[in-house]
């Protein structure tokens, strides 16, 4: 019977992105993995376990993230997720796991790997001539293999096993770890596997639903961004573009990485309200948060295609696009940047999510899914 389970998460392992603990293999080897809606691989450092804990294969995976690349042997083994630190609440008995043997230093930060939460088209693999646990192929040797069918990501495998419904949710409040008051509370959260809408204590009021328009990333159509009274139209992707949409919702990114031209217009809109705002937002250093006076700052409103086809607005409050106490007590950093790696596309990371209980319902929208935002309970916000 499908369950809805709550799993504790923290940003204290990485300092920004949230991680949870996996239990790998018969020995339940622990691994801290980052929750990433911008990828689909379940990948961990292969040195954490030995061949006795897994079934090896001839499959190979490679991936390129913004911080580097990796090469990994695909193995199958039992992988569990623990709820509230207890024994594994669910276990996928033969999960697909990419055991990394070659990685750019620092790609995982202080985590042991990544739990990709996106769709199967991003979970590509190669069928190689030999067992990839024993034969560590180099990137230059990929031509020795052939493309294999896309592998089922962990969430898909859990759904196929009847363990959960095809949905997950986040209840988090920071995009960067706090070093200030209440840090222990602010730096933790809850990841829900299964139907998050049943967790009534984690949200308040109705959901605002955003359409997912393509089943690779969590691709959305960003219509405009509002800063105060100014509305900045966001162009759609050009005809013939390889990108499915002009915006992606990515829990593996700790900032709002806007298309550079859109970012310039957003900063100009802040400057039109108060020139100090643009100066602060574009500063490369942390900022004295006592000088910010956030009550004077406007929310950023992201207007996106809603699940019903009408525009849906998600407001990002000043305390979410600014992170107080993130570079030490009293020092704030901004979560707004103009450094999207893809022209004409914005990567909407954790600041979009921290003000809300966010449900990724992959059963809705004719199978493409919806992203649903509801307010945190008032008591929890306080």
Neighbours of 18 (CB within 10 A): 30
161-180 pLDDT per residue, tens? 999 999 999 999 999 999 99
Fold: same for 5-164 and 199-381: yes
- Exposed/middle/buried for 147, CB within 10 Å: 0-12, 13-18, 19+? exposed
Pick the CATH number of 5-164 from 2.40.70.10, 3.90.950.20, 2.60.120.620, 1.20.1260.10: 2.40.70.10
Degrees, nearest 5: CA angle 367-368-369:
90
Buried b (16+ CB within 10 A) or exposed e, 229-246: ebebebeebeeeeebbbb
Pairing of strands 42-45, 88-103: parallel
Domain layout of the chain by residue ranges? 5-164, 199-381
Whether the Cβ atoms of residue 10 and residue 188 lie closer than 8 Å to each other: yes
DSSP 177-214: ---STTHHHHTEEEEEES-GGG-GGG-EEEEEEEE---
Q: What is the pLDDT of residues 24-42, one digit of tens each?
A: 999 899 999 999 999 999 9
Per-residue confidence (pLDDT) for residue 190, from 0 to 100: 96
Q: Work out the mean pLDDT of the chain and round it to a whole number.
A: 93
Give yes or no for a contact between 166 and 187, defined as CB atoms under 8 angstroms apart: no
User: What is the pLDDT, as a whole number, of residue 52?
Assistant: 86
Predicted TM-score of the model (pTM): 0.95
Is residue 35 within 8 Å of 269, Cβ to Cβ?
no
Out of 121-130, 204-213, 218-227, 278-287, which region has the weakest mean confidence (pLDDT)?
A: 278-287
CATH number for the domain formed by residue range(s) 199-381: 2.40.70.10
| pLDDT of 382 | 40
Residue 84 CB burial class (10 angstroms; 0-12, 13-18, ≥19) = exposed
State the Cα–Cα distance between residues 160 and 90, nearest whole angstrom: 13
| Tens digit of each residue's pLDDT (9 = 90 or more) over 225-265 | 999 999 999 999 988 888 899 999 999 999 999 999 999 99
How much is the pLDDT for 331? 95
């Amino acid at each position: 019977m499908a369950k809805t389970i709550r799993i504790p998460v923290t940003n204290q392992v990485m300092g920004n992105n949230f991680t949870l603990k996996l239990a790998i293999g018969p020995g339940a080897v622990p691994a801290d993995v980052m929750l990433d809606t911008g990828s689909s691989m379940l990948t961990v450092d292969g040195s954490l376990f030995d061949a006795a804990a897994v079934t090896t294969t001839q499959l190979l995976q490679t991936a390129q993230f913004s911080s580097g690349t990796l090469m990994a042997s695909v193995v199958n083994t039992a992988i569990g997720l623990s709820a509230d630190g207890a024994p594994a609440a669910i276990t996928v008995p033969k999960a697909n796991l990419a055991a990394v043997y070659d990685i750019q230093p620092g790609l995982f930060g202080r985590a042991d790997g990544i739990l990709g939460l996106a769709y199967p088209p991003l979970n590509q693999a190669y069928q190689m001539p030999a067992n990839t646990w024993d034969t560590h192929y180099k990137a230059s040797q990929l031509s020795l293999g052939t493309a294999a069918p896309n592998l089922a990501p962990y969430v898909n495998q859990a759904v196929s096993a009847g363990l959960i419904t095809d949905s997950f949710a986040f209840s988090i409040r920071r995009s960067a770890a706090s070093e200030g008051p209440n840090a222990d509370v602010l730096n933790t959260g809850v990841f829900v596997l299964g139907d998050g809408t049943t967790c009534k204590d984690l949200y308040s009021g109705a959901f605002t639903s955003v359409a997912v328009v393509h089943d690779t990333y969590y691709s959305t159509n960003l219509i405009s961004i509002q800063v105060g009274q100014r509305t900045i139209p966001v162009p759609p992707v050009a005809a013939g573009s390889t990108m499915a949409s002009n915006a992606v919702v990515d829990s593996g990114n700790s900032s709002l990485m806007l298309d550079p031209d859109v970012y310039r217009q957003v900063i100009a809109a802040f400057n039109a309200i108060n020139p100090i705002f643009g100066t602060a937002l574009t500063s490369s250093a942390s900022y004295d948060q006592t000088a910010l006076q956030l009550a004077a700052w406007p929310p950023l409103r992201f207007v996106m295609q809603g699940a019903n086809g009408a525009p849906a607005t998600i407001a990002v409050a000043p305390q979410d696009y600014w992170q107080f106490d993130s570079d030490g007590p009293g020092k704030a950093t901004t979560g707004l940047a103009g450094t999207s790696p893809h022209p004409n596309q914005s990567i909407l990371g954790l600041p979009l999510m921290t003000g809300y209980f966010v449900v990724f319902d992959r059963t809705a929208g004719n199978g493409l899914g919806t992203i649903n935002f509801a307010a945190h309970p008032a008591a929890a916000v306080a």
